[in-house]
Amino acid sequence: MNADLMTFGYFEHIVLMIGWVVNNAIWGMLNESMVAALPFVALVLREWYQARREGEDEGNKGLLTLNRIEAGFYAMILIYGFCTAPIMTINFQTGQYDETHWKQCGTKVYDSTTGGGSGAIGGRTAKAPLWWAAVHAVSHGATNAAVAALPCTPDYQYIATTLDGTEIADPTLRHQLNEFQKWCYGLAKHKLLREATANGLPQDLVIDVDWIGSSYFLNTSGYYDSLHADKPTQGFPYDSTRDAGRSGTGPGQPGYPTCKEWWEAGSVGLKARLASQVETDTWDMVRATFSSSDAEDAALRRVLAANPRGSQSPIGGAGSAGSSITEGYGSDWAMEKINGMVQGLGLGLASMAAAPMKGIMVDALPMVQWLTVMAIVMVLPFLLVFSGYSWKVTGLVTFLMFGTIFMTFWWQLATWMDNNLTEILYGNDMDGWLSGIGNAKERMVRWFVVIAMYLVLPALWMGMLGWAGYKGGQIASQAVEGGQKEVSAAGKGGGDKAKSIATKGKF
């Protein structure tokens, strides 16, 4: 008999294959050594001892003992045949999730399998008892159905995590960004602060000029349109009107672009080159999720904030002052606000420390989950044999396996809740959230979401399900014991009647 079972990924596929191969080896050892038969021997000895302890008034003790053994044997043989004997050859098929649904909604719903499947590892075929194959199928089906029931909302956190993990791999681009910061952004910001009125800058302007791609610096006369690169730059040919009198250049050689050109010029501009460092799929998700025209700038701002600025050489004059007021590609003002809130609220430090760990935890928890299921599978023969093929233990392990597999739903729910909290908190200011502005509140909320949703709720789930499994197994065990009592009562009544007939009612 073959069992085609779906798995949620290659890691689960491999570890469960290993688990069942080891399970089969352990069961084979228990069978060959006759240890698997010891519970049946123990049943006979237990009932014999119980009959010896009873008095003569208990009726026909031989028939009574035989009936008890028979009832117990039937209950144990069901566990033996359906829960321990590996009769189903396993073919694991890795599920294919709906990629479009995942990109749009942030939850993984499996709608097909890769086909073919694999029932062997290292030349060994894996088999499973009928009951546990059914538990596997039902658990995965219930989990997938529950995840599919979650409403579809954009996966904001996935986009943010992807942007935070984007690395500026081009060393030339990194160098030019640093040069742009010193000779364009630093000088422009220094000029702005020097010319600011006594009342300071408007709040929206403070946020806008806190990164090198500031629209104010790009579109206001006297800033990026008037500042130039400090040396000839590849990709920007010599312009006699712009570069006349500048050293190190001439016709046919690189020129000195203005900062506006340096940032915006087609495919050679820093903005376009920086955008090319982000995966195409990520850009598709950004454009599909954020309708604002400023979403691209917000995404680039987040990428810059997530990357180290690299080495910077001090520059003289106004540039020196400019360099002192900008310590990176952007987000200085935002980080100052974050630091202030951290100092005032206390929990901020913990939330900021937890934020970069969230991605690692989300990736690691499913691995721990399937390693746990693998361990359960491996010890199943020992648990069932040493418990005497107990219905109570079988029920408890059934609920434990189902609960562990179903934890996938709780983690998908955590992601869904995290996304919705982000949208509720930021509303129309999603561009500000995407660019990394004002993240202190968002990080603290995510701290509680991560802890409560990813850890606490699955723990509560397993606790409640473990209790239900224990009670379910206990009820099944009591039902079996009740059947044994009924058989025993019938045996005792038959023995008393036979005794009465034999003695003609004298005893």
| Secondary structure (DSSP) of 159-213 | HHHHHHT-----HHHHHHHHHHIIIIIIHHHHHHHHH--TT---HHHHHHTTBTT
List the domain range (segments joined by +) for residue 323.
166-331
CA dist., res. 116 & res. 99, Å (int): 21
What do you get for the CA distance between the two ends of the chain, in Å?
Answer: 57
Residues 23 and 142 in one domain: yes
Partners of 90 in beta bridges: 3
Amino acid at 9: G
Q: Residue 430 has what pLDDT?
A: 73
Hey, what are 341's tokens? 């809130």
Q: Are 18 and 377 in contact (CB under 8 A)?
A: no
Give, for 93, the enclosing helix (H) or strand (E). strand 88-97
Hey, what are 206's tokens? 């403070």
Number of domain units in the chain: 2
Tens digits of per-residue pLDDT, 446-481?
667 767 788 888 888 888 877 776 665 556 556 545
Nearest to 175 by CA among 312, 301, 297, 268: 312
Residues 279 and 151 in one domain: no
Can you list the residues of the chain whose pLDDT is less than 70? 49, 51-65, 103, 112-120, 122, 197-199, 308-359, 428, 436-447, 450, 469-507
CA dist., res. 324 & res. 304, Å (int): 19
CA-only gyration radius of the chain, Å? 35
Q: 107 — phi, psi (to 5°)?
A: -125, 145
Residue 251 within any structural domain of the chain: yes
Residues 271 and 358 in one domain: no
CA dist., res. 382 & res. 334, Å (int): 58
Q: Are 38 and 385 in contact (CB under 8 A)?
A: yes
Hey, what are 335's tokens? 């980080």
Q: Which residues contact 478 (CB under 8 A, 6 or more apart)?
A: none
Give, for 361, the enclosing helix (H) or strand (E). helix 347-386
Q: Residue 300 has what pLDDT?
A: 92
Q: Which residues contact 136 (CB under 8 A, 6 or more apart)?
A: 5, 128, 401, 405
Q: 94 — phi, psi (to 5°)?
A: -70, 125
Of the three residues 281, 298, 331, the one that is the final residue of a domain is 331
Residue found by looking up tokens 């359960």 in the block: 376
Tens digits of per-residue pLDDT, 111-131?
766 555 555 676 788 899 999
CA dist., res. 56 & res. 53, Å (int): 10
Residues 6 and 112 in one domain: yes
Residues 325 and 357 in one domain: no
Q: Please tell me whether the overall predicted TM-score, pTM, comes out greater than 0.75 for this model.
A: no
Residue 253 within any structural domain of the chain: yes
Q: Which residues contact 441 (CB under 8 A, 6 or more apart)?
A: 341, 425
Residue 187 within any structural domain of the chain: yes
Residue 339 within any structural domain of the chain: no
Nearest to 39 by CA among 476, 394, 387, 482: 387
Residues 126 and 172 in one domain: no
Residue found by looking up tokens 């900062």 in the block: 259
Residues 48 and 27 in one domain: yes
Of the three residues 331, 360, 381, the one that is the final residue of a domain is 331
Of the three residues 331, 366, 386, the one that is the final residue of a domain is 331
Q: Is 189 exposed, middle or buried (0-12, 13-18, 19+ CB in 10 A)?
A: buried
Residues 212 and 284 in one domain: yes
Residues 58 and 185 in one domain: no
CA dist., res. 35 & res. 29, Å (int): 8
CA dist., res. 253 & res. 235, Å (int): 10
Q: Which residues contact 262 (CB under 8 A, 6 or more apart)?
A: 180, 184, 229, 233, 236, 269, 270
Residues 176 and 151 in one domain: no
**SS3 assignment, position 324:** helix
Residue 340 within any structural domain of the chain: no
- Angle between helices 130-148 and 391-426 in degrees, nearest 10: 20
List, in sequence order, every beta strand (DSSP E) within 145-300.
Answer: 233-237, 254-255
Residue 285 within any structural domain of the chain: yes
Q: Residue 41 has what pLDDT?
A: 87
**SS3 assignment, position 6:** strand
pLDDT > 90 fraction of the chain, expressed in percent and rounded: 24
Q: Residue 213 has what pLDDT?
A: 92
Residues 172 and 151 in one domain: no
The four Cα atoms 450, 453, 455, 456 give a dihedral, to 10 degrees, of 130
Residue 301 within any structural domain of the chain: yes
CA dist., res. 265 & res. 268, Å (int): 6
Alpha helices in 225-315 (DSSP H): 240-243, 259-264, 270-275, 280-289, 295-306
Residues 136 and 204 in one domain: no
What's the farthest any 2 CA atoms get from each other in the chain?
136
Residue 421 within any structural domain of the chain: yes
